[in-house]
Amino acid sequence: MTAPGEQGTAAPPTDYRLLLPEGWFRVHIDPEHRERSVDALVSRQFEGVDNAPHLKRQLRESLLAQAAAAFHDGGIELYLSVQKAGLFTIPASLLVTLLPPSGGGRSTVQETVARLSAEPELEVSVAELSSGPAVRIRRSTGQPDLPAPPGAPGSPDQALPSVTVDYQLPIPGAGTSLLLTFSTPLVQIAEAMVQLFDAVAASLVWVGGDGAHE
């Protein structure tokens, strides 16, 4: 991840570091590596299963569409949970997006929280992270922001309720923000999943730039 700096400000970080739980798979969403990455995930999910070509093809098509949509929307990284609980995959996703610079005056984290708090369906707060203050937005929706990760119950085209947590982290000296979008259809254990999302967001550190971690 790189972001342009602004003249007269501290040098922005050149990258970031993020810790994810064991059992999360990075899907490369850029067109050059997308198919190879999706094929690796499908092979992992169907390891030892030779009699489900239709399901494998269905999952592959769904993942390719998901990766293409994430790339089209400005995503730079996509992670899917393939962590197992017995025979069941714990479905969750993380999309990392570099937000474009906003026009006009730059809003502070507190100003953004105040503006978004007017939306009754959103739970908005300031999160104090080691990477700096961030806007935290939690919402529940009738369908996931992204197609259900591999192993989620229901057919690939079935709309599922979901819990989503966004983190908008201002990039120091860059005039833009990094957006982390976590989502899961496991509304029955939403609180436990949200605690996991919060822990992952809290692990982010900036790399490079002035005073950032190396």
Q: What 3-state DSSP class applies to 89?
A: strand
Give the DSSP H or E segment for 72.
helix 53-72
Identify the pLDDT of residue 103: 58
155-174 pLDDT, tens digit per residue, is: 344 456 889 999 999 998 88
Identify the pLDDT of residue 118: 86
Identify the pLDDT of residue 141: 78
pLDDT tens per residue across all 214 residues of the chain: 544 444 445 688 999 999 999 889 999 999 999 999 999 999 888 887 777 788 889 999 999 999 999 999 889 999 999 888 877 788 899 999 998 876 555 678 988 899 899 888 899 999 999 899 999 999 987 644 444 445 443 434 445 688 999 999 999 888 889 999 999 998 889 999 999 999 999 999 999 876 555 5
27's tokens: 């899907």
Q: CA-CA distance, 70 to 23, in Å (whole number)?
A: 21
63-95 as b/e, with b when 16 or more CB fall inside 10 Å? bbebbeebbeeebbbbbbbbbeeeeebbbbbbb
Amino acid symbol at 51: N
Q: CA-CA distance, 197 to 127, in Å (whole number)?
A: 13
Identify the pLDDT of residue 53: 85
Identify the pLDDT of residue 7: 44
Identify the pLDDT of residue 50: 77
Look-up of token digits 């605690």: 195
From 204, 178, 181, select the one nearest 70 (Cα to Cα).
Answer: 181
CB 71 within 8 A of CB 96: no
Backbone Cα Rg of the chain: 18
Looking from the CA of 7 toward its CB, the CA atoms found within 13 Å total: 0
Q: CA-CA distance, 16 to 40, in Å (whole number)?
A: 25
Instruction: Work out whether strand 84-85 and strand 132-141 pair parallel, antiparallel, or are unpaired.
Output: unpaired
